[in-house]
Amino acid sequence: MKTNHSFYIDLAVYILLAVALAVQTSCGKSSEGDKASADKNSKSIFAMNTYVTVTAYGDNAENALISAEDKIKSLESMWSVTDENSEIYAINHSEGQSAEVSAETAELLDFSLEMHERTDGAFDISLYPVLTAWGFTTEEYRVPGDEELAQLLGNTGVEKILLNDRTVQVPAGMQIDLGAVGKGYAGDLVAEDLKKNGVESALIDLGGNIQTVGTKPDGGNWKVGIRSPFGEGNFAVLEIGECAVVTSGGYERYFVQDGKTYWHILDPETGKPAESGIASVSVIGSEGRLCDALSTSLFVMGLDKAAELWKNSDDFEMIIVTSEGEIYITEGIEDDFSLSENFSEPKVSVIRR
């Protein structure tokens, strides 16, 4: 059995601090830069099961980074599924009793329930026991039988979660996991914290999930590499202003058994790894939590349903790489997207409204 933990060690997105171009993006804009190059400060920590690096520019950067680190650690301690002191752990071991949670957790739970509706059930935070059965939580991988999966699916279903202000109640036997949305929301909250502390230019990298504050310190756009789901390297570069870019792919965590690959993004209907013909999805938008929830659920939904959801929305853009290696991008990022030199072979199709 082969495992892959590049999720931990290999950041999916590389930032190229290169020449600034004045390009309008879907979620932020740059004016050609004339700000003097500012002090750069960076902090890297291991949190939320990944490497998090926050880079901030300007006079206030150093102090702001101390606060940003505290914020990340405090969010991790609330949302960890394994930390016995976390709010999620308390919910998962409440045996059907109600639990009080922080404002941030209540907000994220409420948002997750909303995303379940918006994605027609593809986004489902109640799959933790099913993920455990596959070994994705312990790395003791196995393929559960259909009967076992059917039994586990009897205890899932976010419609059974009762949320009233900051009080949450989940039925005994149900366990929730915010792994598909927590890093995105952490990006939002850290960006907010940096701004509160006087930072106007910053880049937050949560294991490849990118969230920016403002533009580059010289006023130009950030250049974000989009990782190829088929191997090392970036297949494309995206120019963004103040924005989030979040990618999900089967390559992030998987195992191979009897020649078949099983990955960590599950179809809530079957309890099995989603096989929708997508290799990776990147979602671009102003809200990190939305991009994160969508990147996971669009992977489950597949190209056609993802395109339909995009056509009926105005708050995100996307880049989809199919299992065949075709690339689809939505029209809102057409001018900001370019294939990397080494990856100029594949055809790029633009999805239009």
Q: How far from chain centre, in Å, is Cα 351?
A: 22
Distance in Å, CB of 120 to ligand AMP, minimum? 12
Q: Which of 87, 200, 205, 292 binds ligand AMP (CB under 6 A)?
A: 292
Q: Decide which of Mg ion, ligand AMP, none touches 266; Cβ closer than 5 to 8 Å per partner kind.
A: ligand AMP
Tokens 């739970």, located at residue: 109
Minimum distance of Mg ion from residue 100's CB (angstroms)? 26
Asked whether position 177 contacts ligand AMP by CB under 6 A, the answer is yes
Contact with ligand AMP (CB under 6 A) among 179, 220, 285, 332: 179
- Contact between 268 and ligand AMP by CB under 6 A: the answer reads yes
Q: Which of 52, 68, 265, 333 binds ligand AMP (CB under 6 A)?
A: 265
Please give the Cα distance from 95 to 214 (Å, whole number): 44
Structural tokens at position 249? 């792919």
The β-bridge relationship of strands 234-240 and 244-249 is unpaired
Quick one: 131 or 240, whose CB is closer to ligand AMP? 131
188 lies in the binding site for Mg ion (CB under 5 A): no
Q: Is the dihedral of CA 215, 218, 223, 224 positive or negative?
A: negative
Alpha helices in the chain (DSSP H): 6-9, 61-79, 87-92, 103-118, 128-134, 146-153, 182-196, 288-301, 303-311
User: Is residue 296 within the footprint of Mg ion (CB under 5 A)?
Assistant: yes
**What is the contact mask toward ligand AMP in residues 136 to 175, using x (rule: CB under 6 A)?**
x---------------------------------------
Contacted entry of ligand AMP, Mg ion, none for residue 111, CB cut-off 5 to 8 Å set by kind? none
264 binds, among Mg ion, ligand AMP, none (CB under 5 to 8 A by kind): ligand AMP
Spatial separation of the C-alpha atoms in residues 308 and 212, rounded to whole Å: 28
CB 296, min distance to ligand AMP, A: 4
Q: Which does 131 bind (CB under 5 to 8 A by kind): ligand AMP, Mg ion, none?
A: ligand AMP
Least distance to ligand AMP, CB of residue 13, Å: 13
180 binds ligand AMP (CB under 6 A): yes
Residue 318 engages ligand AMP in binding (rule: CB under 6 A): no
Does 127 interact with ligand AMP (rule: CB under 6 A)? yes
Task: With contacts defined by CB under 6 A, name the span among 53-61, 99-107, 116-124, 341-349 that binds ligand AMP.
Answer: 116-124
Q: CB within 8 A of 221, min separation 6: which ones?
A: 20, 21, 22, 23, 25, 30, 215, 239, 240, 241, 336
Of residues 148 through 187, those in contact with Mg ion by CB under 5 A are: 180
Taking each helix axis from N to C end, the angle separating 288-301 and 303-311, rounded to the nearest 10 degrees, works out to 140
- Asked whether position 295 contacts ligand AMP by CB under 6 A, the answer is yes
**Residue 43: Cβ within 10 Å count:** 17
Minimum separation from the CB atom of position 67 to Mg ion (A): 25
Nearest Cα residue to 161 out of 117, 109, 119: 109
CA 181 to chain centre: 6
92, 126, 282, 295: residue in contact with Mg ion (rule CB under 5 A) = 295
Q: How far apart are CA 221 and CA 78, in angstroms?
A: 33
Q: Burial, 177: exposed, middle or buried (Cβ in 10 Å; 0-12, 13-18, 19+)?
A: buried
Residues 6+ away with beta carbon under 8 Å from 38 = 57, 58, 59, 61, 201, 217
Binding status of residue 72 toward ligand AMP by CB under 6 A: no
CA pair distance 193, 73, nearest whole angstrom: 13
Give the interface with ligand AMP as residue ranges (CB under 6 A). Answer: 122-125, 127, 131, 136, 177, 179-180, 248, 252, 264-266, 268, 292, 295-296, 300
Residues that bind Mg ion (CB under 5 A): 180, 292, 295-296
